């Protein structure tokens, strides 16, 4: 790590996370748990702070701290009216402790990689950090000079968030954007765990995040400072909030407001996010002319009589049958990983024995799914 940036970087991240947490809590109004709110806070805070920096370049500190003060006062007033007297469940599942340990180990190793390669990969220093330097150094004329960079049409969520960190630090430290990408990558894992725990408490809430942590390319892209990891985090947050809305808040739009913000942040992160916003908007409007989707017991999303879980299972089984997973993604998506995803997806469909079936499939000698369950999966 660059010497002397630890303190300013910690303050910048603290303000960002608090802004994200207060915004999620104040908009959701108790529709989601505090765990999910904290998990979503880094992603929301990054989006909010990038927008603030884009519109309030010089008075960014004034704008952020003023907004933080207003939101803190609103949160205190909200908490005084909604203090719950029910005791929270004590204890921590063993898989949760394992996931926390894995996240701590991954964070330590990734920080070492960022320290050894602070500029990241090609896209990191040629696109995102280059755009951030123009936002940080060029002042009000950045639009004129950014045209000479690679892909000047790309959105500016990551460059604006990085330039904001450099404003806190006082110089363009090269490893600051790497730490920011690491925070968003960890946030993606916690969002997945908290969303699954919100929808259906069980071992799957920690098995699937462990599977994500064990994906090498996910962490590698974070070290390279590519925008694919933040984009995936915002897509995951959008889908998770929509599922919680379908399960609990179908008559209210509070969670859809949050989902709309994360979808907008996906479009503000990379051009592919624009397509995601379009597809998500179309799918959300389809229930108005058909049957309302539901995300209930068994972690299902039914629409027009078709199950997303079944389609995912057919996809993974088809890829494996044709050898695509082994042919096109060696080392990143092995056969055991595809089989595990199929087994976990199949277990999610039936709430009765979902945990036992998932665990037995993961520990099967051939690393795959039992033949007796082929009728369920296919």
What would the pLDDT profile of 291-341 be if each residue is shown by its tens digit?
A: 544 444 333 334 433 333 443 344 344 434 444 333 334 444 444 444 444
Distance, C-alpha 209 to centroid of its chain: 11
CB 334 within 8 A of CB 217: no
For residue 37 the two structure tokens come to 């709110």
Task: For residue 294, report the phi and psi dihedrals to the nearest 5 degrees.
Answer: -135, 145
Segment among 4-13, 74-83, 121-130 with least mean pLDDT: 74-83
CB 276 within 8 A of CB 266: yes
pLDDT at 317: 44
Split at pLDDT 50, 70, 90, the class of 146 is confident
pLDDT at 286: 78
Alpha helices in 249-365 (DSSP H): 254-269, 272-285, 308-321, 324-328, 335-349, 354-362
**pLDDT higher than threshold 80 for residue 360:** no
For residue 83 the two structure tokens come to 């203090």
Tell which phi-psi region holds residue 86, choosing left (phi > 0), alpha (psi between -120 and 50) or beta: beta
Split at pLDDT 50, 70, 90, the class of 185 is very high
pLDDT at 1: 66
Interval 77-95 mean pLDDT: 63
Q: What is the mean pLDDT of the chain?
A: 78
For residue 31 the two structure tokens come to 């529709």
**pLDDT higher than threshold 60 for residue 63:** yes
- Measured distance CA(154)–CA(346) in Å, rounded: 38
Split at pLDDT 50, 70, 90, the class of 288 is low
Interval 252-258 mean pLDDT: 89
- Measured distance CA(213)–CA(185) in Å, rounded: 9
């Amino acid at each position: 790590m660059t010497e002397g940036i630890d303190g300013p970087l910690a303050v910048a991240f603290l303000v960002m996370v608090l802004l994200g947490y207060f915004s999620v809590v104040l908009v959701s109004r108790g529709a989601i748990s505090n765990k999910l709110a904290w998990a979503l806070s880094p992603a929301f805070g990054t989006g909010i702070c990038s927008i603030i920096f884009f519109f309030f370049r010089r008075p960014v500190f004034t704008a952020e701290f003023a907004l933080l003060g207003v939101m803190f006062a609103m949160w205190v007033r909200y908490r005084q009216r909604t203090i719950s007297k029910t005791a929270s469940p004590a204890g921590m599942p063993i898989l949760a402790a394992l996931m926390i340990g894995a996240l701590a180990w991954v964070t330590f190793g990734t920080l070492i990689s960022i320290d050894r390669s602070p500029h990241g990969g090609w896209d990191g220093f040629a696109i995102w950090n280059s755009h951030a330097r123009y936002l940080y150094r060029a002042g009000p004329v950045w639009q004129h000079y950014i045209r000479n960079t690679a892909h000047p049409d790309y959105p500016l969520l990551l460059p604006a968030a990085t330039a904001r960190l450099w404003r806190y630090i006082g110089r363009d430290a090269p490893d600051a954007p790497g730490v920011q990408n690491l925070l968003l990558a960890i946030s993606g894992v916690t969002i997945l765990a908290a969303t699954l725990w919100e929808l259906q408490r069980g071992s799957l809430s920690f098995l699937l995040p462990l599977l994500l942590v064990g994906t090498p390319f996910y962490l590698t892209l974070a070290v390279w400072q590519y925008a694919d990891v933040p984009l995936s985090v915002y897509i995951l947050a959008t889908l998770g909030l929509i599922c919680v809305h379908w399960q609990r808040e179908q008559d209210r739009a509070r969670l859809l407001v949050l989902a709309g913000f994360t979808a907008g942040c996906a479009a503000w992160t990379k051009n592919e996010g624009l397509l995601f916003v379009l597809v998500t908007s179309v799918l959300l409007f389809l229930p108005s002319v058909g049957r309302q989707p539901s995300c209930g017991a068994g972690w299902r999303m039914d629409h027009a009589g078709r199950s997303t879980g079944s389609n995912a299972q057919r996809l993974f089984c088809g890829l494996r049958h044709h050898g695509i997973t082994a042919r096109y993604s060696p080392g990143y998506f092995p056969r055991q990983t595809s089989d595990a995803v199929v087994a976990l997806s199949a277990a999610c469909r039936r709430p009765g024995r979902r945990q036992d079936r998932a665990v037995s499939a993961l520990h099967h000698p051939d690393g795959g799914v039992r033949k007796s369950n082929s009728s369920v999966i296919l």
